[in-house]
Amino acid sequence: MSALLQLALLIAILLPAGKLVASLFSRFGIPAIIGELMVGIVAGPGCFNLLQQGPFRTGQASGTFMLLAQIGGLVLMFIAGFETDIERMREAGVTAFLVALSGVIWPLALGAGAAHLLGLSWPAALFVGGALTATSVSISARTLMDGGHMASTEATVILGAAVIDDVMGLFVLAFLTASLATGGGEYFGAAGESSRFFRQHFTLAAEHPLLLQMILIGVGVALFFTVGYGAAKRWLDPLILQMRKLSATESVTSCVIALVLVYALAAEWLGSVAGITGAYLLGYVFAGSKFKADIERTFHAIGHGFLVPLFFVAIGLTSNFRSLGGHWLLLGIIFVVAVISKMVGCGLAAMARGLGFVRSLRIGCGMVSRGEVGLIIAAMAIRASVFTESEVAMVVAVVLLTTLFTPLALRGAFQLKCPEDGQSFPGGIVEPLDLASGGPTPTLGGDDISNRPSRRESSNDFSKRLMLSKDSP
């Protein structure tokens, strides 16, 4: 069977299975993404090992499937970006930074300490702690979308803090890498190439590789966010305006997809941060664009109908608990540390900024899931012979377990009653937009925003409402 047919069969099996199980879970009050993750886990190497069965044994389709899934992650974060409330994000700046900082310090310290007490060497323990630092915001973003909480104060802080602690996680990664081999670690992107150049040509740089790498990463992050945000703010709307004049079908959508990929590439190469951060930054700029409605419907359909479910199924496919080799106690304790350190660390930082207990708990729950940075740190640790295969499996399992835990905890936290709901940050009240009030419908750039997803409307409900509006006279 050709690679194309293998890929088609794989998607034809996993995509509807993910949606069916997600729908079944939703009927019992379980977040839909748990269903998609469970489909991947059952199909993965720990159970049926689908990718090693029958026509998929050659591996021709699995690599392409994983790449499609990663694009799904980019699309998900782009959608999360343009659903962000810009005014609340500005209000949350200091709060998000403190939550991110606390959410890096606590997991690093507690994770490394617990791992060392359980018998790991200090280098291995530090890598375990480092793998627990950065939050994978995509899980929380999807849960917040499904629950209609994207416009809440908690969502604003979670998304802002997750972007910031992704950057902080890269600094931890640079520290761990440089501490291994006096500058002999593997770097990537513009920071890595610049580091190698300076170390080869300047003695002072070769003698202080850690300081050099920290400086270069800091410069790269500042350049990416400054240039990326400024360029999008200045030229995004004029570019979309020109694309709308083209006679080609869906030219605006094609242009925006290309921009999402370019920003993801720039985030990885120039900013040394995860590609999803670049996609989120572009979406965040789109949140204030007068052409937002032009791409909102299309990306909801492409994302939630195709690419985003593949992203969550693929996370489950990477899990293999058989490689743990009996390290179940270590896994259990590190998982508990991973959950408690984020919930307590981020929650206390939020409370210190004047948010109430329930809101702080929600923020802590939203910061629990781990992802790309943790897996990168684990991969670097095994290449440096700091981790064994079982320790890598333990880190992957913790990433997966926190991914499963976060939607359940976040959903439960939002079900708790909070007297502050409806308020923004202390001192301000934000009235929600009510499209069902019977009054005039607000417009943005000439577009009727009643044809856009509401804050508490799922993508499926939005699609149904859109079809009904098209059928009505």
CA contacts within 13 A on the Cβ side of 278: 28
What is the pLDDT at residue 470?
Answer: 42
Look at the pTM and tell me if it is higher than 0.75: no
- Kind of pairing between the strands at 443-444 and 447-448: antiparallel
What average pLDDT does the chain have?
A: 81
CB 460 within 8 A of CB 305: no
pLDDT, tens digit, for every residue of 181-215?
444 444 557 887 888 889 889 988 888 887 887 88
Give the pLDDT mean for 5-19: 95
Res 466 pLDDT > 50: no
- Does 288 score more than 60 pLDDT? yes
Judge whether 353 and 102 are in contact, CB under 8 Å. Answer: no
Q: Which two tokens stand for residue 245?
A: 């004049």
Which stretch of 148-152, 256-260, 271-275, 452-456 has the lowest confidence by average pLDDT? 452-456
Average the pLDDT over 2-28 and give the result.
Answer: 92
Question: Is it the case that residue 382 has pLDDT exceeding 60?
Answer: yes
Question: Is 37:311 a contact under the CB 8 Å cutoff?
Answer: no
Please tell me the predicted confidence (pLDDT) of residue 136. Answer: 79
Enumerate the H helices of 118-245 as residue ranges: 122-131, 137-147, 153-180, 189-201, 203-207, 209-244
Per-residue pLDDT, averaged over 252-264, amounts to 94
What is the structure's pLDDT at 422?
63
Class of residue 415 by CB neighbours under 10 A (exposed 0-12, middle 13-18, buried 19+) = exposed
Percent of the residues in the chain that have a pLDDT greater than 70, as a whole number: 84
Please state, in angstroms and rounded to a whole number, the distance separating the CA atoms of residues 77 and 277. 8
In Å, how far are 100, 157, 303, 347, 405 from 28, measured between CA atoms? 33, 29, 24, 29, 16
CA dihedral 320, 332, 349, 98 (to 10 degrees): -40
CA–CA gap between residue 147 and residue 416 (Å, rounded): 13
Q: Give the pLDDT score at 174.
A: 64
Model confidence over 387-396: pLDDT tens digits? 887 888 888 8
pLDDT in tens, 400-459: 899 889 999 999 999 998 877 766 555 443 333 333 333 433 333 334 433 444 444 444
375 versus 44: the higher-pLDDT residue is 44
Buried b / exposed e along 153-179 (16+ C-beta atoms within 10 A): bbbbbbbbbbbbbbbbbbbbbbbbbbe
Q: Check residue 455 and give its pLDDT.
A: 41
What mean pLDDT comes out for the span 274-286? 86
Say which residue, 22 or 429, is predicted with more confidence.
Answer: 22
> Which position has the token pair 């794989």?
10
Q: How far apart are CA 166 and CA 162, in angstroms?
A: 6
Q: Inform me whether the pLDDT recorded for 386 exceeds 70.
A: yes
